[in-house]
Structure 1
């Protein structure tokens, strides 16, 4: 899995760009709202998240997945000591002079995705929150610090943005996740709405499912709106990437709602031109 450390900047930057978010993706448009000088580091961070997510979601054997994540833990240790070998960690080292300060955050990200290999159900929202805070909140903190005026304070307001983005992602990807045996809606919420895991896996739509998704969508929307309102006035201009991501996520939740939550058999998405417009407008809003 290790790579030739003699790779050129262009090579590992190109690799990261494809892994983070290819043209047309929401991440692609969100990254382009950041200052040009900071885009390579942000792209590398999103590429790392993409590598980890792909490892757990495209590996059918949990043992293999754990081996790959253990390798990433070692690679992040090598990154912290100046000995990276993978294109993503080479990019992080090249563009983030102080990337070592994010070691704890990046390790939390790996630990969060490892949870996907250890459990596919969550008893209640308090249980699910631990997962969301690692793969969503902690990551958003790292993203925010790249461009923040006061990076040392980003941990106070950025994690809720990441948590909201994860809640929105879990709504969008519900059908695909269920088909792969992962159900992120807490068991007690399924029971309260009289929807079973088998209903989700077998793509069974019902009035009860619609009510369940109305609740899930509202929670994600409320979380995102509250998190956006919580960005300090002094940081609003610095957080164009997270604000663009959030705006696209909110628009997609609205689209899912308008379509009657038909997400078990398909993945609803915004068109690239709409993503471009929403991201551009959100990044420049006061």
Structure 2
């Protein structure tokens, strides 16, 4: 799944963007010491992050680089700490009973990371940040929709459990297939969740300079093309990976250049 802007930073800001990504990535597989209370561990880790101290569960060089990026570019450490708070849900099986619980997680996990990058790019007013938040949601939901079977193999499910029950689909079925009618309807609903968020964030591109605008539009149109490809495959995630052909990639490039502004 493409990561907007990661290849399009200026030379001065690229190390900071990479440091923030490495921080985010390092939190995806937390290792809580044996016999230690999970809540207490993450409460302490969040406090460490928000005060710029080394984390017990992260390589020191990764944390130091993220702290330096924040100090150099005037970014708040609170958004690093919020990601630590969210990472506690990666311990054991990751499940969400309903859409509200999933949204809370996304707000703590994907949104703060996106806001750090937005501020690094000079996007700071409240309207812009609202669009950034929606794009973060959209890219998050799309990424985890496309790698749903792989997520489940790791014990993680980013689809609300009440929606599985609504369509009479089990987590095991989502891991292995096949694409039954219930599974297709469930995945269609997840695609709508991703598409709607991406559409709500689209206006950010109109507020950007030329270089950043084209970078965002490339990934935005690419994301919609992946959703369209999933629809074309009748929501079958299991027969083959959802990827774009050369022709589809060319269409994305042309849309980036000549599509709606």
**TM-score tier after normalising by the smaller chain length:** 0.7 to 0.9
Matched residue, 2:146: 172
Q: Which runs of 5+ in 1 are unaligned?
A: 1-24
2:224 aligned residue: 250
Aligned residue pairs, count: 254
**SS of alignment partner, residue 35 of structure 1:** coil
Relative to structure 1, the CA distance from residue 60 to residue 256 in structure 2 (aligned partners, 3 Å threshold; closer, same or farther) is: farther
Distance 2:108 2:11 in 1: 27
Higher relative contact order (CA 8 A, sep 6+): 1
Partner of 2:10: 35
Distance apart, 1:207 and its partner CA: 1.5
Instruction: Note if 1:234 corresponds to 2:210.
Output: no
Give the secondary structure class of the aligned counterpart of 2:230.
helix
> Shift of the alpha carbon at 1:162?
0.6
Q: CA deviation at 1:69?
A: 6.2
Verify the 8 A CA contact 2:148 2:175 in the aligned structure 1: no
Matches within 5 A, 1:112-191: 112-117=86-91, 120-148=94-122, 150-153=123-126, 154-191=128-165
| TM-score (norm: length of structure 1) | 0.71
Give the conservation status (yes or no) of the 8 Å contact 2:70–2:76: no
Question: What is the deviation of 1:93?
Answer: 4.3
**3-state SS of the aligned residue for 2:77?**
helix
Distance 1:271 1:38 in 2: 32
Greater shift, 161-170 or 189-198, is seen at 189-198
Tell me what 1:199 maps to: 173
Q: Which moved more, 1:274-283 or 1:43-52?
A: 274-283
Per the alignment, do residues 186 and 95 of structure 1 end up closer, same or farther by CA in structure 2, a change over 3 Å counting? closer
Gaps of 5+ in 2: none
- Specify the alignment match of 2:82 in structure 1: 108
SS of match in other structure, 1:33: coil
Question: Contact 1:34/1:239 (CA < 8 Å) preserved in 2?
Answer: no
- Counterpart Cα distance in 2 of 1:232 and 1:50: 26
- Taking only aligned residues, the RMSD between alpha carbons, in angstroms, comes to 3.9
TM-score, normalised relative to structure 2 = 0.77
The answer to whether the 8 Å contact 2:73/2:120 transfers is no
Deviates more, 1:241-250 or 1:172-181: 241-250
CA deviation string 1:176-222 (max 9, x = no partner): 11122222211221122121223223433212111111121122112
Please report how far the alpha carbon of residue 108 of structure 1 lies from its aligned counterpart in structure 2 after TM superposition.
Answer: 0.8
What are the Cα deviations for residues 102-133 of structure 1, in whole angstroms up to 9, with x where unaligned?
21111111111212226522121011100111
Match of 1:259 among 233, 239, 251: 233
